[in-house]
Structure 1
């Protein structure tokens, strides 16, 4: 049995009672990331040192230069492996964080569902319908009361519109007369008698004959 198989076998037997929580697993993964990041920095420094050593010896000591380049290659391979490992750990950590978030969301939604259920336990749909009907009726009554209050009060009396118009005309005539009086009054009737109407033709002729007779007697 390989060491890896033994490791997972031991881990599985030890975690039968209680597995790690998502928070614990995320914490462990973060620690591993930090350790690998430090390893990355170390390897990058070693690669730079070996490169400097190879340049330093160059053609003077080819054997030492080649050994430095070989070490540089090994460090680069290790660095590449660590880069891949960190990427895998980051992916696993993000998956755990998302799963933990989803778990918390579902848990809170479950609490909310229980709270809603508890709030609805004491509610009777028939009572709710009856209550809503009562509310509607009371709103209608309130509207009728508002309409009645805002309606002009006539005290139950009805008037003939024609009589009112006639009275209005009288008032207008009185106002017109008052205006005429204030402007000097109506024109006065002349005191002198008007000329009498001319007598008929027949009467005029008789008078003319009498005048002629009187004139003749005076002349004689």
Structure 2
């Protein structure tokens, strides 16, 4: 519907061209209005001069021309108002067209995304993920299950054997002899020096060895 009203991109370009043309026309009308206002002011000054010189007829003619200029100014003002109104409508139509185009582009993008992510595809993907998860769980359970000779072991028998080992270990600890006490440490009373051992008297061999060492030192 909006395409029928506002047209295609070619018509949008025409709207931009029209806006430019209206802006130029508005500028031209403003210039003419300013020129007429200057003429109105000039006729008023002439009428004053003729009034001071007692030339009533000439003063009236100036006022008549002033009225004509003022009528043209009013007419130009109406033209400018119509152009402003047209520009506002065109600018609003342009903004509406751009908004519709943006919405149309967004809708197309959303439609493409929905097509790429169909709900059936999503359900299928989730089913595949759940199936793979279940298969992996079964594989892990199969790998953790005991096989071979280990699968034949009786858990109750193993528990009973472990209890026997623990009882034997406790009994062995109870039957071990007590360890020897460490040698008593000699404590010296405060204020007293420990008694040093008396050195034994050197033997003749030791005296001879000492004399030989002294002689070699000399």
In the superposition, the TM-score normalised over structure 1's length comes to: 0.49
TM-score of the superposition, structure 2-length normalised? 0.49
